[in-house]
Structure 1
């Protein structure tokens, strides 16, 4: 009997622990490591993948077409979202994702989450993920597209986001104080709509925070904390951390091949048919020689070109 009671107690303890962990807002380091096993590089203290600053700088010239092709070939089909309203539409947004997931408010769940936060010294659920941001991050929010009484970001929160990250937001929902947000220099942001209301309008709990840095959905895209956010040309790509380097290198190779091909076409060395199809061995050898000849003139670091040459067979 005593053994049965002990087993029952152990089962209840494990079940309750699992239940509590499932509804803890911020993902644990162990879960982060588990969900990002393919990343082998540096990490933040909480386990979030830390793609290097160098790769982020090189990512600025990557197009969605190039990123999409690499991700699609690797089996990642749902990493792009478009149809946004944009602050600073001519700018490019690059950074490491910090994710937040909100759901429609329900008083009992909201109050339980809020009470636990207060015991940890936290106030205002919409600010909890913002407190985690560091320079180079992009705040990525699933606000389930809510419009009226939905905004959790206005000019005060936006200024805090920009001060901590130096970046803007990807926000699937309505923002408020849009005039004030536009006054923040460099706050390149993608959002669904604008509405002057507030998520806790007149005491109504319209939204509640259920996840920080957990996998989240931004429209038709799946986003994980640490993904590289590429926002440009009206759309957003979410590049898994372990694919970021491959995306950048592929983009650089494509850029160089285009430069070479265009130059050779203008000089009449090759026809469009030769350049527009799979290159012959002779063209590939010519390309390698061209890279060597122009290595200090090209818009890609010498070291990167040397690495490309090292991996070529021509």
Structure 2
């Protein structure tokens, strides 16, 4: 008697992640999601994230064993501002016509409009950050100029993290909150269509999938924090923890600095592990000043309850 082994049906890996793919690769997020599957960290957390320093976020992620989330060495637009938002990711690779043809044909079937560099832009939601790896291509590399930049800004009200070159940097600088971290500037433009023939040098192979940004790995829905020349990608399930830890650090610093200025404690006492006397003084200080501190009253009440 012959036996025919059952062959499991294998789903081919899609170059553009579906909602199901995104959910599969972000299993630790239990909150709300966008229609495309990306974790939707609440706006209230994004608002509070703006005061978090890179060191504070980095320390919390290190404790959770997320060791490869930070990257620096950027050319910044609006370097005096802080970039915070939810990542929508894309990956470019060196142009290859056979792959380009398949993806362009699929784009027609999916009713995607325009060239590839517009596809992820059309998907952006308010407070998103477009995060793309363009393999640091400089000459004939920019896929973002002031037209695409304006489209990104109109959709998200936010900036970008772009591991490649941009063009029209003066036009991008005119967008007041287009806080951007890019690798370089070049006045040329990329060739990302079959119509360019032998000039084809860029093929977009992924949207809403994992993306390597320098030494970091970013995922769709990560909270992007960019400031002071660096960018860190915070997994959504850790975003609230990062914010709370940062706020508590700020409060303890405020208390410590005030008491040092008053001469109540020495630098050695404040720099060391606090004694029970200092901890009790800190709790009293929180109660006395909770209506005037740069942290919500609800968060201060939570700290007080823990003690």
Report the TM range for the smaller structure's normalisation.
over 0.9
- Structure 1 stretches lacking a partner, 5+ long: none
Does 2:231 correspond to 1:251? no
> Which residue is 1:118 aligned to?
108
- Specify the alignment match of 1:194 in structure 2: 185
2:84 counterpart (94, 118, 121): 94
1:292 paired with 2:287, answer yes
User: Residue 47 of structure 2 is aligned with which of 57, 60, 72?
Assistant: 57
Q: Unmatched 5+ residue regions in structure 2?
A: none
Aligned equivalents of 2:268 and 2:162: distance in 1? 44
> For residues 92 and 221 of structure 1, what CA distance do their matches in structure 2 show?
19
2:163 equivalent to 1:168: no
Given the two structures, how large is their TM-score scaled by the length of structure 1?
0.92
Q: Which residue of 1 aligns with 2:28?
A: 38
**2:151 is paired with a residue of what secondary structure?**
helix
2:270 paired with 1:279: no
Deviation sequence 1:213-263 (CA, Å, 0-9, x none): 111100000001111101100110111101110110011000000010011
CA shift digits 1:23-55 (9 cap, x unpaired): 332x12222222111112211122211111111
Other-structure match for 1:220: 215
Q: Which residue in the other structure is 1:230 paired with?
A: 225
Distance in 2, matches of 1:73 and 1:79, equals 13
Q: Which runs of 4+ in 1 moved over 4 A?
A: 1-4
Distance in 1 (alpha carbons) for counterparts of 2:83 and 2:105: 35
- Equivalent residue pairs, number: 302
Deviations 1:90-124 (A, max 9, x none): 01111000000111010000111111111222231
Structure 2 distance, partners of 1:211, 1:308, is 43
Distance 1:2 1:126, change over 3 A: farther
Farther-moved stretch of structure 1 (93-102 vs 122-131): 122-131
Alignment of 1:124-139 (within 5 A): 124-139=115-130
Q: Distance in 2 between matches of 1:32 and 1:210?
A: 16
Residues in 1 aligned to 2:200 and 2:105: alpha-carbon distance in whole angstroms: 14
TM-score (norm 2): 0.94
Q: Alpha-carbon deviations, 1:50-84, whole Å to 9, x = none?
A: 11111101111000010000001110111111010
**Aligned: 1:180 with 2:175:** no
Q: Deviation of residue 295 (structure 1)?
A: 0.5
Structure 1 residue 3: deviation in Å?
A: 7.5
Is residue 2:214 matched to residue 1:206?
Answer: no
In the other structure, the counterpart of 1:264 is: 259
8 Å CA contact retained: 1:133, 1:164 = yes
Preserved contact between residue 100 and residue 129 of structure 1 (Cα < 8 Å): yes
SS in 1 for 2:45: helix
CA distance in 2, matches of 1:150, 1:116: 24
